[in-house]
Structure 1
Amino acid sequence: MSDQPAASVSPVLSVKNLTTSFLADGEWRSVVRDVSFDVMPGETVAIVGESGSGKSVTSLSIMRLLARGSSRVEGSITLNGRDILSLSDKEMRSVRGKDAAMIFQEPMTSLNPIFTVGRQISEALTCHGDISKADARAETIRLLEKVRIPNAASRFDEYPHQFSGGMRQRVMIAMALASRPKLLIADEPTTALDVTIQGQILDLIKVLQEEEGMSVLFITHDMGVVAEIADRTIVMYRGEAVETGTTDDIFNRGKHPYTRALLSAVPRLGSMDGRKWPLRFPVIDSATGERREPVEVAETVDRRKTPILEVKNLVTRFDIRGGLLGRKTGAIHAVEDVSFELFQGETLALVGESGCGKSTTGRSITRLVQPNAGSISLDGYDVLNLDAISLRQMRRSIQMIFQDPFASLNPRMTIGAAVAEPIVEHGLGTRAQARDKAADLLERVGLKPDMMKRYPHEFSGGQRQRICIARALALDPKVIVADESVSALDVSIKAQVCNLLMDLQQSLNLAFLFISHDMAVVERVSHRVAVMYLGEIVEIGPREELFRNPQHPYTKKLMAAVPVPDPARRGIRRNLATDELKSPVRPVGYVPPKRQFREVVAGHLVRTEEAA
């Protein structure tokens, strides 16, 4: 389907009746069916939908990046007047980068770790033009400056691992812009980034588009991002374009049930105004594509009791060694003087950007890393003074759910065995009993017991995260540390997993330490929120109070960076500073200043910045 604006100028990209199929079990199965759209000069078109909707396959089809033997692309794709599907492989290589460039979701896998970033961008220049090495270096530095990388000349010879996630994505954008393409295809370029870095990247793409007159095909499942960047939007569902129109029309007058459900499932900052307790997310019915209404979570927290977890003055540092003798030259102050309490049935969210120390805090509490100082009391255990046997027993009380479920599941182990393993290892039952409990847990997290014989690769990302939740519940813990456990999930899968966690909290009286950078999700699921910056808590308080009345400049910055699903905000510039998060590396002998806090209202504390 197509709903194109009338225009006398020719489109940069014209896709007609695109159908892409893959060979599976000896037969061709279509995953994109009869999709048509145009992208006009200087225009941004967004393709939105969840994993499996066909949006990324559409972009890979346009760039001819699908495996030839196992994929088939039919229809018509015209780029700058050229029929893409009729080009030879050699001709197509000259098109990629020069006429159309692509940015992928994970820059670390797209950049070669053994070459400097400068060399990789220079190569994009020399491949598509007759340019000297010196000129290529000068142009590369100009491009790095253009994408707002500080000290671009000195960073030319650095490697990808020396850049933060946001800066690596900027390098990918610089590389994509090297040959001044007419079309930039951005495939989920901000999904795994912190909210402030995401805001910077969106601002950057808008500015570069204005400066270069470039067209953008933006692929995402984040409706907030779509509202802020897209002129027109194509909604994909199960391989088909179910609705196409101006972004304003899609958001305010969307007709298809799936479009309306997708929009309603987006957590909006401020939607909890006036609500005291967490609220389940509206979810999309997978069969009909329609919305199911949310339910408020009943209050379960009793602050008159002793906290299940008490952290006082926690310090975790990592030594940096250098020189021939490997002497200590400094330390990363990952967690510095952090204190908080967590009660049974409560969710305390730890929020902040990558590198702020929130994940290290979670790992320190579980003793996956060894803290340097402080005290941790968990369910009666003095965590920092446990021997190996006691530590093993303590871990029955606290479990972690990690961000990447695929990396935390053994690919050679069936999911039934993975969930049953902790029960057997801790001697809490026979293998048969462990199997029965694993089946029960999988059912509890919304999976079928007959899936137990399958392997991790046979599940979707959302299903794998459910498996990890089931495994975390195997030892009947009282505290669960959820470390960015929903960050990379689609909006409706994220809603389902968050609802599942809230259901489990209510039925099992679990305490959650919810580590996240997604402020809109945090607002919905939390009882209290602690904001971390450079290893320290700068603000902590009840969720409704902290979101209604943020006090610390960093808290305000985090909230201002959240994309809002409102097309009226399109074209805004947040003017966020493009500097990377300041380094937590300190020289030998550094003594951090003693911090002072003031109480805004009962329980809402903010760090005073005189000593900052």
Structure 2
Amino acid sequence: MRRGADMTPSVLSVENLTTAFQTGDGWGEVVRNVSFTVKPGETVAIVGESGSGKSVTSLSIMRLLDPKRARVSGRVMLEGTDLLSLPESAMQQIRGNRVAMIFQEPMTSLNPAFTVGRQIGEVLARHTDLGKSQIRAEVLRLMERVRIPNAARRIDEYPHQFSGGMRQRVMIAMALASRPRLLIADEPTTALDVTIQGQILDLIKELQQETGMAVLFITHDMGVVAEIADRTVVMYRGDCVETGSTERIFAQAEHPYTRALLAAVPRLGSMVGQDHPLRFPRVEMDSGRVNALPPVLNPVDRQGTPVLSVRNLTTRFAVGSDLLGRPHGHVHAVENLSFDLWPGETLSLVGESGCGKSTTGRSILRLIEPQSGAIQLDGFDVRDLGGSDLRRMRRSAQMIFQDPFSSLNPRMTVGQTVAEPILKHGIAKGHQARAMAADLLAQVGLSPAMMDRYPHEFSGGQRQRVAIARVLGLGPKLIVADESVSALDVSVKAQVCNLLMDLQERLGIAYLFISHDMAVVERVSHRVAVMYLGEIVEIGPREAVFGNPQHPYTQKLIAAVPIPDPSRRGLRRAMAAEELKNPIRPRGYVAPRRDWQDLGRGHLVMNTA
């Protein structure tokens, strides 16, 4: 909320902040002459893609960089105090007290050996004179304040017993413990599901209204910026290229990079009236030039034979065991799934973490063994295959993983990586395999001259292109793309999605596209299946599921998507602070029979009664 006139004293004033890191070639500046202010009760967003310097800016403000390797200059004024001139002992009294910070991944910020109550209480013990009983009472109040259900019971639980969204609420409670004047939130919702993200955004807005604290919000998501920020600072390659009110920047962005960043953002609802998947516009980030691209017009023949047919697929994982070695229960990860996928079609599986999306993809390829069901894939009865037959089947179906860096061997060049499956399956040998690898890299937009480089020498988007080239070498008819663009910047995400659609139109590949990004799913899909607790609760054509969602969970998912429209900044979703229900069932549990409502044109919805 915007409070006070322009003459209101700032809580934080950053002037000509410059940060340099020591390298083999001397000191290299990664943030240059950044200036901005944050007033009481105001939210200022720093936005930019990876490498823009936004997180380094926040770490410089908090003085969390190693002074032996980082050099910070300029002025950082916190209510009249220059933080850069303070001794470390004085800075320790400010951190967590007058200024608090929450990070992107709460599990790496919380100590797994201590209860959450103890960790929140440590802040109070350090910065207040409260006794033990008073600290516990205040911790309980804080946990209730950040809407953690059953706080009295959960105060003595450990971080691993909390979901990602609830762990982030614990981090917010820790940050608020000393009633800070400034809260720095560094990508606090990036790793969260869309519904949990909506809850956290609402929580930060509500707490800010209650306390009047200033918020510095760091993100790359323009939808989040529109919903939470009063003013926005845009960073590009270490420079602040534009700053102003969020409304002005979204309506009349002046810098080419800001315009390009806005143009690259997928907008939920932009596919109304569009019958086919639509390529993202080609955006040149340096110039801001935007070139519209044609839709994907490959016809999907659903009268023929599907490339993939799944019937009653069930995958469960045993939990615990008794004296006889029998499991206490099972995680019902995938329960009685059935669907078909045709050549040249994209079927997206959407849902929150833990709903069974990734387990479905891995079960289809037999990377995980399902308990029951039938899987027909390009003429193979997948569950009956073994040895060499299973290996032959995997020429027809390949998988692209979320993190290309962990799926590429760091000791192999990208040329060796792309050629490896070609050699393993005996498709080609020696120089011919290397020539095929060079051609595959060219197909995904990488120069064959890059073949002798290693994965660490590529950006995230380039590494994902290498992963795509690797799977293309076997000529698959089905590709399971498991969150394959989730970790990418918005402009790179658009490029990789366009590449996948280009390959589909040219080669007729079918995609099982697994994602929690509803705006991207709407853009790339022919059909959509919504999963909840291991089951598909709604499935149908993309335009039907997004235009006429019928299941309450589908409606909840779509309503939670942040829209890049500053007029929504006062929006409250009124979502209950609840975790995904426990998928563990006792031994002998029999799943209930499900009834479906057919809405026509293949749009099916599970009855909720």
* Residue 513 of structure 2: aligned partner: 514
CA offset digits 1:355-380 (Å, max 9, x no partner): 11111111100111110111000011
Displacement, 1:141? 2.2
**Deviation at residue 324 of structure 1 after TM alignment:** 5.8
SS in 2 for 1:243: strand
Which whole-Å CA distance do the structure 2 matches of 1:213 and 1:325 have between them? 59
Runs of 4+ aligned residues of structure 1 deviating over 6 Å after TM superposition are: none
1:74 equivalenced with 2:64 (yes/no) = no
The residue that corresponds to 1:353 in the other structure is 352
Superposition pairs of residues 2-151 of structure 1, within 5 angstroms:
7-151=6-150
Once residues 278 and 70 of structure 1 are traced to their aligned partners in structure 2, the CA distance between those partners, rounded to angstroms, is: 48
User: Which SS does the other structure have where 1:328 is aligned?
Assistant: coil
Q: Deviations over 1:254-276 (max 9, x none)?
A: 12222122112111111000000
Q: Which residue of 1 aligns with 2:298?
A: 299
1:574 equivalent in alignment to 2:566: no
CA contact (8 A) 1:258 1:290 kept: no
Q: Secondary structure at the match of 1:125?
A: helix
**Counterpart-to-counterpart distance in 2, 1:71 and 1:156:** 38
Letter in 1 for 2:33: D
Specify the code of the residue in structure 1 equivalent to 2:353. Answer: S
Once the two structures are TM-superposed, the CA of residue 444 in structure 1 deviates from its matched residue by 1.8
Alignment correspondent of 1:156 = 155
Q: Is the 8 A contact 2:47 2:232 kept in 1?
A: yes
Structure 2 segments unaligned to the other structure (5+ residues): none
The answer to whether the 8 Å contact 2:259/2:288 transfers is: no
Structure 1 position 210, deviation (Å): 1.0
Count of aligned pairs = 607
> 1:84 is aligned with what amino acid?
L
CA contact (8 A) 2:38 2:214 kept: yes
Query: Contact between 1:376 and 1:383, CA under 8 Å: does it hold in 2?
Result: yes
Could you tell me how far 1:323 is from its partner in structure 2?
Answer: 5.2
Question: 2: CA distance between counterparts of 1:291 and 1:69?
Answer: 43
Pairing 1:442–2:441 present: yes
Cα distance in 2, alignment partners of residues 35 and 292 from structure 1: 31
Number of the residue aligned with 2:277: 278
Aligned partner of residue 410 in structure 1, secondary structure? coil
* Aligned CA distance change for structure 1 residues 44 and 468 (closer, same or farther; 3 Å): same
1:492-535 per-residue CA deviation (whole Å, 9 max, x = no partner) reads 11111111111111111110000111111111000000011111
Indicate whether 1:546 and 2:553 are aligned.
no
Contact 1:46 1:226 in 2 (8 A): yes
State the TM-score, normalized to the length of structure 1.
0.96
1:594 aligned residue: 593
> In the aligned structure 1, how far is the partner of 2:432 from the partner of 2:69?
43
Q: What residue is the counterpart of 1:404 in the other structure?
A: 403
- What is the CA-CA distance between 1:436 and the residue it aligns to? 2.2
Map 1:262-277 → 2, pairs under 5 A: 262-277=261-276
Aligned to 1:314: 313
Q: Counterparts of 1:312-351 in structure 2 under 5 Å?
A: 312-322=311-321, 326-351=325-350
Say which SS state the counterpart of residue 52 (structure 1) adopts: coil
CA offset at residue 564 of structure 1? 0.8
Q: Deviations over 1:89-120 (max 9, x none)?
A: 22212211111111111222222223322222
CA distance 1:294–1:581, change in 2 (3 Å): same
Shift of 1:142: 1.9
CA distance in 1, matches of 2:426, 2:357: 32
Equivalent-residue separation in structure 1 for 2:119 and 2:404 (angstroms): 31
How far off is 1:432 after superposition? 2.9
2:8 counterpart letter in structure 1: V
SS of the aligned residue for 1:447 comes to: coil
Aligned equivalents of 2:98 and 2:453: distance in 1? 44
1:394 corresponds in structure 2 to: 393
Letter paired with 2:319? I
Amino acid at match of 1:230: A
- How far is 1:71 from its partner? 1.6
Report the AA paired with residue 208 of structure 1. L
Q: Please give the secondary structure, in 2, of the residue aligned with 1:499.
A: helix
After superposition, give the CA deviation of every residue in 1:155-199 in whole Å (9 maximum; x if it has no partner).
223222222111121121112112221111111111121110110
Mapped to 2, the partners of 1:272 and 1:555 lie a distance apart of: 17
In structure 2, what is the Cα distance between the partners aligned to 1:106 and 1:364?
Answer: 28
Secondary structure at the counterpart of residue 538 of structure 2 = strand
Partner of 1:192: 191
1:258-316 CA distance string (max 9 Å, x none): 21221121111110000000000123214424323232111232212200000001011
Of residues 243-252 and 128-137 in structure 1, the stretch that sits farther from structure 2 once superposed is 128-137
Is the CA contact (8 Å cut-off) linking 1:415 and 1:454 kept in structure 2?
yes
1:29-50 CA-to-partner distances (Å, cap 9, x unmatched) read 2121111100001100011111
The answer as to whether partners of 1:261 and 1:291 remain within 8 angstroms in 2 is yes
Alpha-carbon distance in structure 1 between the residues aligned to 2:463 and 2:358: 20
SS class of match (2:198): helix
Q: Distance in 2 between matches of 1:56 and 1:282?
A: 28
> 1:473 is matched by which residue type in structure 2?
L
> Using the alignment, how far apart are the partners of 1:425 and 1:145 within structure 2?
57
Residues 261 and 285 of structure 2 are in contact (CA less than 8 Å); yes or no, is this contact kept in structure 1? no
The match for 1:535 is: 534
Distance 1:163 1:472, change over 3 A: farther
Give percent identity, aligned residues only.
69
- Equivalence for 2:469: 470
Determine the C-alpha separation between the residues in 1 that align with 2:134 and 2:513: 49
What CA distance in whole angstroms lies between the structure 1 residues aligned with 2:268 and 2:215?
A: 27
Task: Judge which range, 527-536 or 430-439, deviates more.
Answer: 430-439
Is the contact made by 2:256 and 2:285 (CA closer than 8 Å) also made in structure 1?
no
Report the CA distance between 1:236 and its aligned residue: 1.2
Query: Is the CA contact 1:191–1:488 (under 8 Å) kept in the aligned structure 2?
Result: no
Question: Which position in structure 2 is the counterpart of 1:172?
Answer: 171
**Structure 1 residue 545: Cα displacement:** 1.6
Say if 2:583 is the partner of 1:584. Answer: yes
Asked if the contact 1:48/1:219 (under 8 Å) is kept, the reply is yes
Q: Do structure 1's residue 456 and structure 2's residue 455 form an aligned pair?
A: yes
Distance 1:415 1:171 in 2: 41
Q: In structure 1, what is the Cα distance between the partners aligned to 2:537 and 2:134? A: 46
Amino acid at match of 2:401: F
Report the Cα offset of residue 28 of structure 1.
1.8
SS at match of 2:303: coil
| Partner secondary structure for residue 396 of structure 1 | helix
2 CA distance for matches of 1:500 and 1:206? 38
2: CA distance between counterparts of 1:294 and 1:91? 56
Secondary structure at 1:335's aligned position in 2? Answer: strand
Range with bigger deviation, 471-480 or 508-517: 471-480
Q: Residues 209 and 444 (structure 1 numbering): CA distance in 2 closer, same or farther, change over 3 Å? A: same
Moved more, 115-124 or 187-196: 115-124
| Counterpart check, 1:203 vs 2:218 | no
Query: Over aligned residue pairs, what C-alpha RMSD do you find?
Result: 1.6
Asked if the contact 1:598/1:606 (under 8 Å) is kept, the reply is yes
Query: What is the DSSP-based 3-state SS (H/G/I as helix, E as strand, rest coil) of the residue aligned with 1:395?
Result: helix
Determine if the alignment matches structure 1 residue 374 to structure 2 residue 387. no
Deviation per residue, 1:527-554 (Å, 9 max, x gap):
0000111111111111112111111111
